[in-house]
Structure 1
Amino acid sequence: MSKVAEEKMRNHALAHVNERKEVMGLMLGGVYRHNGREYALVRDVVTTDLDATEVSVRFDRDAFEKLFASLDESGFRYIIVGWYHSHPSYGCFLSSTDIQTQRAMFNRSFHSALVIDPVNREIDVFRLRDGRVESRPFAVYWDPYQEPYASKVVRFRKQVKGPETAIP
């Protein structure tokens, strides 16, 4: 997943950590093959207003137009490659409700469910395989078009007791 997508999901969960409310959204990207293996690339995420508690979350029924507008504004040709949600202080796992959601809405081989626990600072990714929940490996990457220092050499200077004593 792109660093931007990971930051959006993490920051969304952290924004509601004091309320202990769950958050959720959709992961957008593409599906690719390499050496005979299929993988999904998460480039961005979208969400909308939520109906949430400490132990449940769903899109607000009156907010689907906003969700669809966010999808239209994504800026690239995407497919929905999964969903994310949080379990504030409960750890990263798929509950029975999460498993039902995954089975009903995200049942393709490339679909993933990312779970964030912003209290314990954990992130894990899951999928259903042969009806069983399994953890799925993932990595976070910088997209060269999103990375602010792409193709530039950047030198940081450390300041010590004033501007005239900068150390390279």
Structure 2
Amino acid sequence: MTRPDDAGNQKIEVTLDEPVDTPEQGSNRPQGESEGAIPPGAVEVYIDKAVLESTWEHVLTNRRTELGGVLIGRRREADGTFTHITNWLDARHTTTTSGSLTFTHDAWADIAQRMSDMDPDDKIVGWYHSHPGHGVFMSGQDRFIHNNFFANDWQCALVIDPIKNDRGLFQLVNGQIVRTGYWCVPDKPVYVTQQDSKPVAVETPPQQDGLHEAASDFLEAGDHIASGIEKFVKYSAQRIRNSKGPLGRNIDKKA
């Protein structure tokens, strides 16, 4: 929308939809590898491995200035609230230096436009940015951005230092921004059911005869072939994207 400023000039305003503070019900937690300690009171965050890899590749495209973007996913409910990050968008039209990143008005407008083409259930659940050579921490400006644009306890900040080969997650816990751990979810998430606050692995029945065993071997071979085809398709798509423009476009949505 537009409205005149004090001088009578027209200026553009962009309003992003506020994240709905209601978790999605009936969702099982994905199974992942723990990355760091999660303090008491923190909303647990699950990040798809592909998101961690792709955001790292994005910030590697420029080691002299800070780069960043937003993290996309959903707030879910299964034995407590958790956040699952499945996608990302690079922030364009930002103002950057070697020690700062500013989301400009045009940057937010561009993010809002691209999100309109995504699944309406997907929300901005956090942001990421790089600290090339400066270490992993939240600066005063970072804290200002987080407190003003990502102020929910289920939203997070991923800080990446590609030069020192380090990254870390930060969240609001009891009103304070602190570094927390997270769960890295593999390419093909394995979900677990919840019972008495403990994950219970889903078991398969034992093989009963040679026919079942042969069928199992056949299906396993098919899975390997399908996995190889999937990786080839993703690799080809990435090559095409790289040939058309810089790294940093959003990855394909996970199933």
> How many correspondences in the alignment?
148
Identify the structure with the greater helix proportion.
Answer: 2
- Residue of structure 2 aligned with 1:59, choices 88, 103, 107: 103
Q: 1:99 to 1:59 in 2, by over 3 A?
A: closer
Matched, 1:8 2:54: yes
Tell me the amino acid that sits aligned with residue 33 of structure 1: E
Matched residue SS, 2:146: helix
Trace 1:1-168 onto structure 2 (pairs within 5 A). 1-17=47-63, 20-35=64-79, 37-49=80-92, 50-75=94-119, 77-144=121-188, 152-153=223-224
Gaps of 5+ in 1: 146-150, 157-168
What RMSD over aligned residues (CA atoms) do the two structures have, in Å? 2.3
Q: Aligned to 1:104, what secondary structure does the other structure show?
A: helix
Q: Residue 65 and residue 106 in structure 1: after superposition, are their counterparts in 2 closer, same or farther (change >3 A)?
A: closer
Q: Radius of gyration: which is bigger?
A: 2
Q: Structure 1's 28 and 139: CA in aligned 2 closer, same or farther, altered over 3 A? A: same
Distance 1:73 1:41, change over 3 A: same
Q: Secondary structure at the match of 1:103?
A: helix
Alignment partner of 2:69: what SS? strand
The 3-state SS of whatever aligns with 1:4 is: helix
- TM-score normalised by length of structure 2: 0.53
Separation in structure 2 between the aligned mates of residue 130 and residue 139 of structure 1, nearest angstrom = 20
Q: Give the gaps of 5 or more residues in structure 2.
A: 1-46, 190-221, 229-255
CA displacement at 1:38 relative to structure 2: 1.5
Identity %: 25
Deviation at 1:48, TM superposition (A): 3.2
Given residue 4 of structure 1, which amino acid in structure 2 is its aligned partner? Answer: A
Q: Which amino acid aligns with 1:13?
A: V
Preserved contact between residue 70 and residue 91 of structure 2 (Cα < 8 Å): no
- The Cα shift of 1:66 comes to 3.1
- Give the distance between the partners of 1:109 and 1:99, measured in 2 at CA: 14
| Counterpart-to-counterpart distance in 1, 2:52 and 2:118 | 16
Please state how far the C-alpha of 1:114 moved relative to its aligned partner.
Answer: 0.6
TM-score (norm 1): 0.77
| Counterpart contact for 1:47–1:70, Cα < 8 Å | no
Residue in 2 that maps onto 1:148:
none
Aligned to 2:15: none
CA deviation vs aligned residue, 1:128-158 (integer Å, no higher than 9, x gap):
223322222212223439xxxxx712699xx
The structural deviation recorded for 1:75 is 4.4
